[in-house]
Amino acid sequence: MSSTPSLWRERLTSPLTWHFFVFVVLLVTVIGLSVRFGFDWVATNGNSANVLSAKQLQLKSLEIETAPLRGLDKRVADSRAQMLNFYTKRIPPNYSSIDRRIGELGVKSGVRLSRVQYSQNPPGSDLTEISLDAGITGDYPQIMRFVNDLERDQNFFVIRAMSLTGQQGGMVNLRLRLSTWLRPADAAASGLPPALQSGEALAKPQGKAGE
């Protein structure tokens, strides 16, 4: 029986036993580290995927927000060109051309114009509004032709109001208010009186020589 403790002591002190023990400890350590690394790797990949998704969402949001600004410089240039073309083709060059054109359209449609009164509103940065208040006499077809011709004319006319003021013997009396525009310098040189808020009558100025 005494040989048994001696045998265990020999085994415990044997280099082979210690090598085996160290090997087991290292194996357990490696397994533990591997498991920990695996958990960390999974967590890191999950976080990376979330971060990537968040960045992609932010990028898409920025693309949507900046979409209206793409090509803005070209659209601004196109708008300026269109505005200049509009001013050149549809804004009268002076007051006399407005008065002359209104008279021509009246003759063409067969109506008679009376109490034609012009005034100018305060100048804007690009244009000054010119207001016209006139009485029109004619039958219904003549008045409709006159109104349609005004709306389709090359000069830019905007009808503000129409009101029936009387009817007699098949003839209709109509009051018409409309607007057109001049460039501020042309409006200032026209001699037109300013628009009155009180609604007082404004006399039509005489045309200037050379207009």
Strands (E), the chain: 112-120, 128-138, 158-168, 171-182
The pLDDT value given to residue 63: 72
Does residue 176 lie within any of the structural domains? yes
Residue 116 near residue 102, CB atoms below 8 Å: yes
Task: Please indicate, yes or no, whether residues 55 and 123 belong to a single structural domain of this protein.
Answer: no
Which residues constitute the domain of residue 17? 3-64
Residue 198, token pair as written in the block: 């009180």
Task: Please indicate, yes or no, whether residues 104 and 176 belong to a single structural domain of this protein.
Answer: yes
Instruction: Tell me the one-letter amino acid at 32.
Output: G
The pLDDT value given to residue 210: 36
Output the pTM of the full model.
0.58
Task: Please indicate, yes or no, whether residues 121 and 60 belong to a single structural domain of this protein.
Answer: no
Residue 119 near residue 202, CB atoms below 8 Å: yes
The pLDDT value given to residue 31: 73
Does residue 69 lie within any of the structural domains? no
Does residue 200 lie within any of the structural domains? no
Q: Name the pairing type of β-strands 128-138 and 158-168.
A: unpaired
Count of the separate structural domains present in the chain: 2
Does residue 107 lie within any of the structural domains? yes
Does residue 117 lie within any of the structural domains? yes
Task: Please indicate, yes or no, whether residues 105 and 175 belong to a single structural domain of this protein.
Answer: yes
The pLDDT value given to residue 161: 93
The pLDDT value given to residue 57: 75
The pLDDT value given to residue 74: 73
Indicate the average pLDDT of the chain. Answer: 78
Does residue 207 lie within any of the structural domains? no
Task: Please indicate, yes or no, whether residues 53 and 141 belong to a single structural domain of this protein.
Answer: no
**Weakly modelled stretches of the chain, pLDDT under 50:** 1-2, 198-211
Task: Please indicate, yes or no, whether residues 93 and 57 belong to a single structural domain of this protein.
Answer: no
Q: Counting beta carbons within 10 angstroms of the beta carbon of residue 69, is it exposed (0 to 12), middle (13 to 18) or buried (19 or more)?
A: exposed
Q: How many residues does the chain have?
A: 211
Maximum CA extent, the chain: 152
The pLDDT value given to residue 204: 44
The pLDDT value given to residue 183: 92
The pLDDT value given to residue 209: 34
